[in-house]
A and B are shown apart, each in its own frame.
Chain A
Amino acid sequence: MRLPIADAATLRAHTLALVRRHRRPLAGVLVLHALAALAGLAGPWLLGRLVDAVGRGTTVGFVDRATAWLVAAVLVQTVAIRYAQRASRVLGETVFADLREEFVTTVTRLPLSVVERAGTGDLLGRTTNDIDRAQHSVRFGVPRILVTSATVVLTAVAAVAVDWRVAVALLVGVPTLTATARWYLHRAAAGYLRESAAYATLNGTISESVEGARTTDALGLGHRRRSRIDDDQREAFAAESRTLFLRTVLFPGVDVSFVLPVAASLLWGAWLVSQGLSTAGAVTTVAVYALQIRHPIGELIYWLDEIQIGATSLARILGVGSVEPDRTAGAERPAGDQVVASDLRYAYREGHDVLHGIDLALQPGERLAVVGPSGAGKSTLGRMLAGIHPPTGGRVAIDGVRLVDLPLAELRGHVALVTQEHHVFVGTLADNLRLADTEADDAALRRALAAVDALAWVEALPGGLSTEVGSGGVTLTPGQAQQVALARLVLLDPHTLVLDEATSLLDPRAARHLEQSLSRVLSGRTVVAIAHRLYTAHDADRVAVVDDGRIREIGPHEELVAAGGDYADLWRSWQQE
C-alpha cells in the first residue's frame, strides 16, 4: 500500500494558507527587496543624466551632486539588501521549520494499520529526500524568486519611466526569451527529477556495498558490486547529459534575448534622438538596464524549475496528512482482561480473506502457541489480537469492549505486540526506555533492565543509562536491542502480549541468550506466541495450529500429539523418539 500524494488543489490551498500565516513578514520582505532593487536602478539612470549633461556642457557641481545621489543610492541599497536578505532567509527558515515539524508530527500519528502495511521505505523517502528537496525550494528558492521578480519588474518599469519610446525596443527580446523559457521549463522538471533519482540510486548502491561488505567478501560479490556502481554512474551521467542538453538550448536562447534588445534600443533610440523625441542619456540608461536585467531573469528561470521539483516533493510531504484515522475511540473501558476474538475476518484486498472467521478466547494467564506454515495468517491473527488493524469482519474485544474502540494509550496498557523487528532509537539508553513510560524514574528503568538481565551490560556502558545509542552512538548488538525492547514491555506492563517470532531475526546465538530474559517478561501475563520453534509449543498451555486462515487444531500439546493430526506428525519428526 502506498501513502497518498496531495493533489494540486490541496497543494495550492496549503501554500495560500502559508502565505496568509506569514503575510506580515512576507510583505516586509517584499518592500525591502523592492527598495533594494529600486536603489540598484539609480546608477544607470544617473549615468544617462551625466551623458546628457556632458553633451550639453555642465559644471563640476552637477557631477558632485549626481555622485552624491549615487552614493546615497548605494547606501540605501546596502542597507536594504542587508535587511531584505536576512528577513527573507529567516522567513524561509521559519516557514520550512513549521512545515517539517508538522510533517513529522503527522507521521508519528499515522494509524497503526497504515504504518504496519505501508512499510518504511516510502515514508523514509519522504522524511529524507523529499524534505531536503522541498527545503531547497522553500529556503532558498522563495526568497530568490522574490528578489529576482522584484528586480525584473522594477527594471522594466524604470526603463518605461525613463523613456517609454526607447523602452519599446526592449520587447525585441521577448519572443525568443519566452519561447526558450517555455521550451526549457516544459522539460526541466522531469530531467532534474531523473537526475536526482539517479543519484539516489547510486548512493543507495554504494551504501548497500558498505552495509553488506561482509556478505560481499564472503560470496565474492565485489566484481558485481563494482559493475553495479558503474551502471548507476552511467545512468547518472545520462541524466546529467540530458539536463546539460536542456541548458545548452536555454543559455544561448537567453543570451541572445538580451543582446538583441541592447542593439535594438541603440538603433531605435538613435533614430528617436535624431527626431528629437529622446536624449542620448535616456538611450544609454535603457541600454544599460537591458544589460543588467539578464542575470535576474536567468536566475528566475533557474528557480522556476527548481520550484516545480520542490512542489512534487511538497505534494508527497503533504499527502501524508490526508491519511484517514482507522479508528475513533469510544467511551467504554474494560474491567476484566480476557481477550476474545469472534468470527474474526481480515482481507488486505477486498474479497481475499486471509482469516476466515476465527473464534478464539484467550484464558487470562495462559500461554498459547500459534504454529503453522508460512503465509497461513499467523501474523495477521497476531496483529488483530493486538488491536493493530481493525478487522474487516467479526471483532476482537477485551471484556466486551472492542480493541479498536480504546484510545491508543489505553490499548497499549492491555495488549502489546512484539515483532521480530528491533530498532535502537537515536538518543540515550534511558530515552529508549522512557518511550514506554515517560514518567519512569531511573530506579524504575534499572528495575526493568534487571528484569530482563540487561542491567549488567548497561551499567558497563561508558555512560550507563545516559549512554548515547543508535545511529552515531554506541552500537548495541541485536540481542541487546531486543533486551531493551523487552525492558520497555516491563515498563508498559500490559496483561496480554502477542509475540510474533520475537527472536527469529536475531542471530540464533543471540536468540538463545535472550530466551531467558523473555521468559521473565512473560511471567504472569497472557501470552500469544507465534512460533517457529517447537519447544515453545511444547511449553505452552495450548497450541493452535493455523493453516489457510483457520484454526485447524487447538488444545494442550499432549492432547494434540495424542490426536494424531498434523501437529503430532511434526512433533514426532522433531523429537525422533
Chain B
Amino acid sequence: MPYADPGRPPLTSASAYLWWVARGQAGLVGSCVAWSSLAFVSAAALPYLLGVAVDAGLERGPVRALWSAVLLLLAVGLLGALANVMEHRRLVEGWIRAAFRSSQLLGHHVTRTGDAVTAELPTGEVVATVASDSLRVGEVFWILPRLVGALVSYAVVAVLLLRASVALGLAVLVGLPTVAAMLALIVRPLSRREADQRAAGGRLTTLGADTVAGLRILRGIGGEDVFAGRYRDQSQRVRRAGVRVAQTESVLDALKALLPGLFLAAVVWYGARLAIAGTITPGELVTFFGYAAFLTQPLDVATEALRIVTRAVVGVRRMLRVLSVPPTGADTREQPLDLGERPPATEASSLVDEATGVALPAGRLTAVVSPDPDESAALALRLGLLGSGHDRRVRLGGIPLAELGLAEVRRRIVVAESMPHLFTGSLREELDVRGGSDDAAKLAALHVADAHDVLESVPGGLDGHVAEKGRSLSGGQRQRLALARALLTEAEVLVLVEPTSAVDAHTEARIARRLAAARAGRTTVVVTASPLVLDHVDHVVLLAGGRVLAEGTHRGLLAADDEGGRRYRGVVSRAAAEDDLIDPYDPREEDPRATAHR
C-alpha cells in the first residue's frame, strides 16, 4: 500500500465499480470469506459442545467423558480465537485496499483535471467525496465477507437442527429470514433518518467552520450573537434529527431483542417438551438454546450489511461523478507529466501571439500593459495554453503551441498567476517544484523575490513549514513566495501576471531590479501596470482592444507624443486617474456625516 497504479475503473455504474474493486482483490476476498466462515462456525459449535458436556453427566463429577468434551470445547474456543483474529486482519486489509484504492483514484484524478473539477462540482463536495465516500467503499469489503460467513454458519445450524428435529429446523429455516425481512423494513427508514442527521450535521460543521474562518471580521464589526444564534438553531436541528434517529433505532434494537427472544422461547418450550418425552437429552436442550441465542449474530450482520451497502452505493455514485470529469490533457495517465529534471539549456526562444500581434523577443524581459487588465491577463493564459481552448496562433520559436503538445508547453513555458495556490509542506520542498535546485539557488530565488522575511516567520528556515494555503503568512509574503517558486522552475519562458500586486512600493522596486538581473538572457513576460516594474524591463508592449497599440521602452513610451504614448501614460500614471475618481467625493468639499447622526 498504496498501489503503484490504482488502475482504471469502469465509470458506468456503482455496481460495476464495486465489482471491479472486488475482482482486483479477489484472493483477499476469498480468504476473508474463509476465515469469516470458520469464525462463525466455531462460535456456533460452542453451544453444541456445551450440550455434549452437560450430557457427559455433570452429576458424576469431572469424569473422562466430561474432560474430553471440555478439552474439545477449549480447542474449538482457541480455534475460534484464531479464526476471529485472522478474520479481523483479513477484513481490515480488504477494507484498506478498497478504501485506499478509491481515495487514490480520486486523489490522482483531481491532479489531472485542472480547475475543471471545481467548475463542475463545488469544492466542498469534492473534498467530502474523497474524505468519506472512499471509506464507504471500504466498508462494503468489511461487511460482505462477514455476511457470507454468517450465512454459512446459519446453514450449518439449520441443518444440525433439522437432523435433531424437523420442526425446529424448519422453524429456523423459515423463521430467521422472516425476522430479517421484518428488520429490513425498519432499516430503510432508519438509513434515511441517519442520512438526514448526517446532512444536518454536515451543515452544522460548515457553519462552525464558517464562523471561525470569518471570526476576525466578526469580531471587528459585530454580529457575534447572530452567529452564535444561528449555530444554536442548526445545532438544535441536528439534535432533533438525532432524536428521530433514536426513535427508529430504538425500535430496531427492541425488535432485535423481541423477535429472536420469542424464537428462543419457542425453541426452549418445544425442546423442553421433547426432553421430558425423552426424545432429546438435557444436553441437547442446552444446545438448542445455544443455537437459538447464536442466531442473533447472523441477523445482526445481515441488517448491518443492508445499511452499509445502501450507504456505499450512494457514495460510489458521487465518486463516479468526480472521476468522470475529463483531464485537461497536459498530464494524463498514458503520459504522466514529470518535470523532475532541469529543462535542457536551449537557445532562448521568442514567443509570438499572432492573434494580437504581441511578439515577445527571445532572451528579453518584456512587459505587457493594457488599459483593460483582463485583456492582458487573458493573453498571459493563452501564452501558456492555460484554461480552455487550444490556440493555434501562439508560436514558440516559430512552432504553434498546439503542435508542441500540452506537456511540452508546460515543460517550456511557465505561467504564474498573481495569487497562485501555496501548498502545505516544507519551504525547501514547496519552493523547488521541479526538483534539483540546491539551497543556494533557493536562497537566491528568495532574494530576487525579496522574500527572506518568510524564512524568519516560518521557524526552521528552509525546513520551516508552510501551513495550508499559506495561512501563517501575510498576503504579501504569499505572493513573494509564489514568485520565488516560479523563478526556481528556471523555465525557458516565464510569464508572470501582476507578480507584485500585494507588496509595498519599497519591496516592489527591489523585486523589479533583481528580477531583470535574475532572468537576464531568458524570455520573460510580466503583465503589470506598475511604473516601478516597467522601469526595469527591456521592452514594453501596450495592448488595447485586441491589438498592439504601441511598443518601446517605458521611458520612450512615457515621452512619446502620439496616441500610443497618451494611452500609455493614462494606464501607467495612476495618480492622474485616481484624482478623477476621488474628486467628486473629496471629504474636504463635503462631509455627508455632518448631516448624519453624529
Contacts and interface: CB of A to CB of B under 8 A. Distances in A.
15 contacts: A51-B282, A104-B227, A127-B205, A208-B421, A208-B423, A208-B469, A214-B420, A219-B486, A234-B2, A259-B73, A408-B219, A435-B226, A519-B582, A525-B593, A535-B574
Contacts of B81: 251-252, 255-256, 259
A223 B131 contact: no
A515 B580 CA distance: 12
A120 B215 contact: yes
Given A127-B208, A256-B81, A524 B336 contact: no
A520 B89 CA distance: 67
A247 B84 CA distance: 11
Given A47-B289, A78-B257, A435 B219 contact: no
Contact of A434 (B226, B468, B558): B226
A283 B58 contact: yes
A438 B78 CA distance: 69
A62 to B, nearest CB: 9
A263 B587 contact: no
A289 to B, nearest CB: 12
Name, among B377, B416, B501, the residue most crowded by chain A CB atoms within 10 Å (CB to CB). B501
A269 B67 CA distance: 12
Interface in A28-44: 36, 40, 43-44
Contact of A131 (B50, B63, B208, B268): B208
Nearest to B289: A47
Interface in B136-178: none
Contact of B110 (A85, A131, A206): A206
Name, among A120, A123, A215, the residue most crowded by chain B CB atoms within 10 Å (CB to CB). A215
A273 B61 contact: yes
A574 B216 CA distance: 34
A55 B111 contact: no
Interface string A180-209: 000000000000000000010011111111
A537 B509 CA distance: 16
A63 B269 contact: yes
B239 to A, nearest CB: 4
Interface stretch (B112-120, B302-310, B355-363): B112-120
Interface in A478-512: 485, 488-489, 492-493, 495, 501, 504-505, 507-509, 511-512
Contacts of A51: 54, 282, 285-286
Contacts of A533: 505, 574
B186 to A, nearest CB: 12
Contact of A223 (B331, B416, B506, B558): B331
Interface stretch (A7-15, A88-96, A354-362, A455-463): A88-96
Given A283-B58, A423-B214, A493-B596, A501 B501 contact: no
Main secondary structure of the interface of A (DSSP, over half): helix
Interface stretch (B18-26, B243-251, B396-404, B438-446): B243-251
Contacts, number: 576
Main secondary structure of the interface of B (DSSP, over half): helix
B253 A82 contact: yes
A58 B59 CA distance: 18
A210 B210 contact: no
A427 interface: yes
Nearest to B223: A435
A164 interface: no
Q: How large is the interface on A (under 10, 10 to 19, 20 to 34, 35 or more residues)?
A: 35 or more
B337 A220 contact: yes
A218 B504 contact: no
A445 B453 CA distance: 42
Interface stretch (A303-311, A339-347, A371-379): A371-379
Given A255-B81, A267-B67, A574-B531, A492 B112 contact: no
Contacts of B575: 535, 538-539
B420 to A, nearest CB: 4
Contact of A504 (B243, B246, B433, B476): B476
A216 B593 contact: no
Nearest to A541: B588
Interface string A238-282: 001000100110011001101110110011011101110000100
B200 to A, nearest CB: 11
Contacts of B517: none
B137 to A, nearest CB: 14
Contacts of A58: 276
Name, among B103, B217, B467, the residue most crowded by chain A CB atoms within 10 Å (CB to CB). B217
Given A210-B127, A570-B505, A101 B555 contact: no
B73 A262 contact: yes
A24 to B, nearest CB: 17
A420 B506 CA distance: 19
A398 interface: no
Given A436-B221, A570-B509, A89 B246 contact: yes
A324 to B, nearest CB: 16
Nearest to B238: A97
Contacts of A120: 212-213, 215-216, 471
A252 B122 CA distance: 46
Contact of A412 (B62, B222, B328, B582): B222
Contact of B60 (A94, A202, A274, A574): A274
Nearest to B288: A47
Contacts of A237: 1-2, 96, 100
Nearest to B237: A97
B535 interface: yes
Interface in B404-457: 410-411, 414-425, 433, 453
A525 B585 CA distance: 11
A480 B597 CA distance: 28
Given A54-B285, A81-B257, A215 B104 contact: no
A291 B1 contact: no
Interface in A62-78: 63-64, 66-67, 70-71, 73-75, 77-78
A104 B592 contact: no
A367 interface: yes
A205 B424 contact: yes
B336 A223 contact: yes
A288 interface: yes
- 10 shortest A-B CB distances, which residue pairs? A435-B223, A259-B77, A274-B61, A212-B421, A74-B261, A89-B246, A255-B81, A532-B504, A82-B254, A85-B250
Given A79-B254, A115-B215, A214-B114, A219 B414 contact: yes
A516 interface: yes
Given A63-B269, A229-B104, A423-B214, A505 B475 contact: yes
Nearest to A417: B220
Interface stretch (B9-17, B28-36, B228-236, B543-551): B228-236
Given A532-B503, A576-B554, A123 B215 contact: yes
B285 A50 contact: yes
